[in-house]
Amino acid sequence: MFFLTSEQQAIFDVANTYPFGEDIDVEFEEYLYGNLARYIAVVPQNFQAGIIKQTLFKNEALMDQFEEWCNNTIEQFTTNRNAIFAKRETIVERFNSTAQTIFSQSLHDGEILNAEQQGTKFTLLLNMSGGFTAQSIVQLVFHDVQIEGELDGYYVYDELVETEDGFALRVLSSFGSPYMEWTVYFKDITANYLYRPAVYSELGEIATWEDYVAALNLNDKYYIVQNMNFVEIDLSSLSQTADGIFAGEVLLGGTFEEAREQIYCATYEDPYAHFSEPIPMNELQDAMFDLDQTMRVRAFNTAFALGEEVASIVNEVLRKANVHSEENMYFSIMATHFEKLGCLADDVKKKWIEE
């Protein structure tokens, strides 16, 4: 039923170990043999002796075969993974809206905080702060379940399939290879999730708990996580004493840094939204050279957004900018973009494109 197994993933990892096109010195060769030896059980038998005896890279004919096997393995695995993603998109459409939101994204690199079965319900809690979702913490609740295998470490790869009675999700988890293989068969799934406040990512000059709380959006709802549950808190219940920082009677941490890790919010706030705030056209040229990095980024984003409308300003900026300065990357990217729009004057094009 599933293509994705811990063994299949290990085989793919072996195939990606070989450094196609790279020179292999003695030190690198030692590293490669050590890495390949970790996967010896899944390497085809005709290569095993060469890895164990460390003669593989000296046998040209065998190396050609190994490289061909690596290429074929990567191609086949990639084809199957693409099919998995396509199937997943179709299946997810049948989930409720909360689960659709989560499974339309990748849960790769989500830290498994807790995984617990209660009767026919299974709850999985993921810390996605190092992952690829806008949500910072995700709670998945599988209903009417049957479980096989175990979860631990990080949620690495998954595969979703339909069954006669509902759905099945295969997950590979690990702290690094080897992978643990876990499967949940379920009839329904719901999801709950929370975000980090915008100020969490953009602290700026905020260095105290009092200032952090003052910067939170009073119109949002705030939560802490307790025993797999999201518990709403009132900002007025937050306090700092000599014993630590509390939400009511709950200790959040002994320091500002510890306490802010415990606070989540219900609404997504783009912490970088201020970079997209437009600069007035009469201030745009000066803003391109502003010493404030945020102002400069806003200026460049404004120029890209307005395009041909600010061509004369962009040309003048590029005439003044130093091609050889340490920060010329921004100007170079802008020059390339406006050249594609056909907006660069001949002298500017010669300076930035043809030099």
Please indicate, yes or no, whether residues 156 and 133 belong to a single structural domain of this protein: yes
Q: Where are the alpha helices (DSSP H) in the chain?
A: 6-17, 26-38, 45-52, 60-92, 97-103, 198-201, 209-215, 256-260, 281-288, 293-306, 311-320, 328-340, 346-352
Strands 110-118 and 167-174 turn out to be unpaired
- Is residue 160 within 8 Å of residue 184, measured between CB atoms? no
| Tally of domains in the chain | 4
Please indicate, yes or no, whether residues 345 and 309 belong to a single structural domain of this protein: yes
CA separation, residue 114 to residues 153, 176, 266, 277 (Å):
10, 18, 21, 39
Please indicate, yes or no, whether residues 242 and 302 belong to a single structural domain of this protein: no
SS3 262: coil
Say how far apart CA 291 and CA 324 lie, in whole Å. Answer: 18
Domain finish residue from 32, 59, 91: 91
Please indicate, yes or no, whether residues 101 and 189 belong to a single structural domain of this protein: yes
CA angle 265, 271, 276 (to 5 degrees): 140
Determine the pLDDT at residue 89. 92
- Is residue 159 within 8 Å of residue 181, measured between CB atoms? no
- Tokens matching residue 331: 């100007």
Q: Which domain holds residue 47?
A: 6-91
Domain finish residue from 91, 108, 139: 91
SS3 182: strand
pTM of this structure: 0.77
Domain finish residue from 91, 124, 142: 91
Closest CA to 128 of 104, 109, 142: 109
Determine the pLDDT at residue 21. 67
Neighbours of 8 (CB within 10 A): 21
Please indicate, yes or no, whether residues 180 and 128 belong to a single structural domain of this protein: yes
- Is residue 144 within 8 Å of residue 205, measured between CB atoms? no
Q: Phi-psi category of 21—alpha, beta or left, where left has phi over 0 and alpha has psi -120 to 50?
A: left
Kindly tell me the burial class for residue 232, based on how many C-beta atoms sit within 10 Å of its own C-beta (0-12, 13-18, 19 or more): exposed
- Is residue 9 within 8 Å of residue 157, measured between CB atoms? yes
Residue 236 domain-assigned (yes or no): yes
Please indicate, yes or no, whether residues 281 and 348 belong to a single structural domain of this protein: yes
Residue 172 domain-assigned (yes or no): yes
- Tokens matching residue 300: 């460049």
Please indicate, yes or no, whether residues 211 and 291 belong to a single structural domain of this protein: no
- Is residue 300 within 8 Å of residue 334, measured between CB atoms? yes
Determine the pLDDT at residue 20. 67
Please indicate, yes or no, whether residues 209 and 253 belong to a single structural domain of this protein: yes
Please indicate, yes or no, whether residues 154 and 107 belong to a single structural domain of this protein: yes
Torsion of Cα atoms, 274 then 280 then 286 then 288, to 10°: 40
Determine the pLDDT at residue 61. 95
Say how far apart CA 208 and CA 211 lie, in whole Å. Answer: 5
Determine the pLDDT at residue 306. 92
Determine the pLDDT at residue 26. 85
- Give the phi and the psi of residue 186 in degrees, each rounded to 5: -150, 160
- Is residue 11 within 8 Å of residue 73, measured between CB atoms? yes
Q: Which residues contact 233 (CB under 8 A, 6 or more apart)?
A: 222, 223, 224, 247, 248, 250, 263
Please indicate, yes or no, whether residues 131 and 216 belong to a single structural domain of this protein: no
Please indicate, yes or no, whether residues 177 and 116 belong to a single structural domain of this protein: yes
Average pLDDT of adjacent 10-residue blocks, the chain of 355 residues: 93 85 81 91 94 92 93 94 93 95 94 95 95 93 96 95 96 90 97 93 84 92 93 94 94 94 91 79 92 88 92 93 80 90 91 77
Please indicate, yes or no, whether residues 117 and 185 belong to a single structural domain of this protein: yes
> What Rg do the C-alpha atoms of the chain give, in angstroms?
27
Determine the pLDDT at residue 250. 94
Determine the pLDDT at residue 23. 76
Residue type, 10: A
Residue 1 domain-assigned (yes or no): no
Determine the pLDDT at residue 266. 95
